[in-house]
Chain A
């Protein structure tokens, strides 16, 4: 029971981390209609910048400053790279962001080396929040979850209670109409891109200290973030949150489960047949955990192509 509770908690925190990165991506995706392959690279840069700043300004300032630097970088990417290729269509934008992701990964390897760096949770946050069945639950995981929840509430309030938020929500669906009503849509795009990058940077700065900060972290999380955006629905913040939690918790529960299809089938007397058939039927849930998010994505795409809470018209 305690194990399940731990898995649920871990899954929720991992889900919240996924949300931190996918929140910006889903907004950008909705607005520009193009997947930003470099988005997870901003997550990685957030971690590396925080690691670089920490010796000079300390952990707390590092995780505050790093997202601001990443945001500035995001603004420059939109203004000087994406905007220039926008006129040539989505395929070009997609290729540019893909190229950018590769360039960022290689630059990180050149500067920091092709291995994990020593970016750690600060001593003041290295203690157990509580103990269950003799297992310590790190307070830092709760801190990460707290940051994500605060971020969700802030974005939600900004999007629903402010004029800028209303403009952003409209621009996701009808950018041309929004512009004809006197709103500087290119500036809105740039702002959203920058904030989205900054949020990913914040996630990286916070999570990089707990997991590992290495040149593959963008790739590792990036694929999962795309799944979240598709499952949640384009441009939907609530959808991104729901999909992040769904995938985080499913993944976490599956990793700790030895359940096999054989075990289920044996209840109805088909155990021997399943054992003889082998293949997928005899593989444990934990081995399939990595593929579950994609299975969920497939299901959602088949049953509800606009995503769980997609509003795209």
Chain B
């Protein structure tokens, strides 16, 4: 992909207390690109997203969003600069209705980002429209996942960081989530995806990064990963 880089992660280190989790993670995301971070549990994929987002402040390294270094900034500033984050645990606001949850995500976003409306969200996930006055705490896991994705998308981000969006979901909803990721990408939103299901990751990604021990151990297209079964065996096989 020859598009300019929108997100550049360089030598990122992060700690949880005294535990050193990320050991110099480096990768780039081009405008309009979907990059998946693959790896076993504990390889540092989720921490990488949290660290980029400022939720686990990096102890070393750079995160450049559209050229500006955002490493170490508070997460609300990073969000306003154009990063959207969909957490693994979904983290909907259980005490708020679907409409109120969506309102929480609404931000102006950078001037050059794709603009999203609540109606578009309801087109993606008609189920949410039916339940717009329901408290998020009463939604099913799948509905909560849809809500979390829509909430972040309404911030009009340049790049979406999506952590395990299909975990624990029924196969039918997994397919829908995959299609939505592809569609928002067509609208120009770049995506960094952490995904356990290889089939989904390989289908929607332009490039994949395999992580192990808090580092990127392989980077290439899905096809290139397919051609290197030893990488899959060593870093991805259960």
Name A's B-contacting residues (CB within 8 A): 163, 166-167, 169-170, 173-174, 176-186, 311, 313
Q: Does B22 contact A (CB under 8 A)?
A: no
Residues on A with beta carbons closer than 8 Å to the beta carbon of B105 = 181
Q: Across the interface, do A184 and B76 meet the contact criterion of CB distance under 8 Å?
A: yes
Q: Does B206 contact A (CB under 8 A)?
A: no
**Complex alpha-carbon distance, A190 and B104, angstroms:** 19
Give A89 Cβ to nearest chain B Cβ, in Å: 13
Determine the residue in chain A with the shortest Cβ distance to B152.
A181
Residues on A with beta carbons closer than 8 Å to the beta carbon of B230 = none
Give B150 Cβ to nearest chain A Cβ, in Å: 12
- Report the stretch among B95-103, B118-126, B209-217 that lies at the interface: B95-103
**Complex alpha-carbon distance, A186 and B75, angstroms:** 11
Residues on A with beta carbons closer than 8 Å to the beta carbon of B104 = 166-167, 170, 178, 181, 183
Q: Across the interface, do A174 and B79 meet the contact criterion of CB distance under 8 Å?
A: no
Q: Across the interface, do A185 and B96 meet the contact criterion of CB distance under 8 Å?
A: no
Q: Could you name 28 residue pairs across A and B whose Cβ atoms are closer than 8 Å?
A: A163-B103, A166-B96, A166-B100, A167-B104, A169-B95, A170-B104, A173-B93, A174-B93, A177-B93, A178-B104, A179-B75, A179-B76, A179-B79, A180-B54, A180-B75, A180-B79, A180-B85, A181-B76, A181-B79, A181-B107, A181-B152, A181-B155, A182-B79, A182-B107, A184-B74, A184-B76, A185-B76, A311-B94
Q: Quick one: given A166-B100, A169-B95, A170-B96, are A182 and B55 in contact (CB under 8 Å)?
A: no
Q: Across the interface, do B151 and A181 meet the contact criterion of CB distance under 8 Å?
A: yes
**Complex alpha-carbon distance, A116 and B87, angstroms:** 55
Determine the residue in chain B with the shortest Cβ distance to A186.
B74
**Complex alpha-carbon distance, A141 and B113, angstroms:** 57
Interface size on B, residues (CB 8 A): 23
**Complex alpha-carbon distance, A169 and B79, angstroms:** 20
Name B's A-contacting residues (CB within 8 A): 53-55, 74-76, 79-80, 85, 87, 91, 93-96, 100, 103-105, 107, 151-152, 155
Residues on B with beta carbons closer than 8 Å to the beta carbon of A174 = 91, 93
**Complex alpha-carbon distance, A164 and B47, angstroms:** 30
**Complex alpha-carbon distance, A169 and B135, angstroms:** 13
Q: Quick one: given A166-B103, A170-B104, are A180 and B94 in contact (CB under 8 Å)?
A: no
Q: Pick from A173, A179, A181: contact of B95, CB below 8 A.
A: A173
New A-B pairs, 7, CB < 8 Å, besides A180-B54, A180-B85, A181-B104: A166-B104, A169-B93, A179-B75, A179-B76, A180-B87, A181-B152, A183-B76
Give B193 Cβ to nearest chain A Cβ, in Å: 17
**Complex alpha-carbon distance, A305 and B93, angstroms:** 21
Q: Across the interface, do A180 and B55 meet the contact criterion of CB distance under 8 Å?
A: yes
Q: Pick from B54, B80, B91, B103: contact of A177, CB below 8 A.
A: B91
Give A33 Cβ to nearest chain B Cβ, in Å: 16
**Complex alpha-carbon distance, A58 and B87, angstroms:** 54
Q: Across the interface, do A180 and B93 meet the contact criterion of CB distance under 8 Å?
A: no
Residues on A with beta carbons closer than 8 Å to the beta carbon of B54 = 180
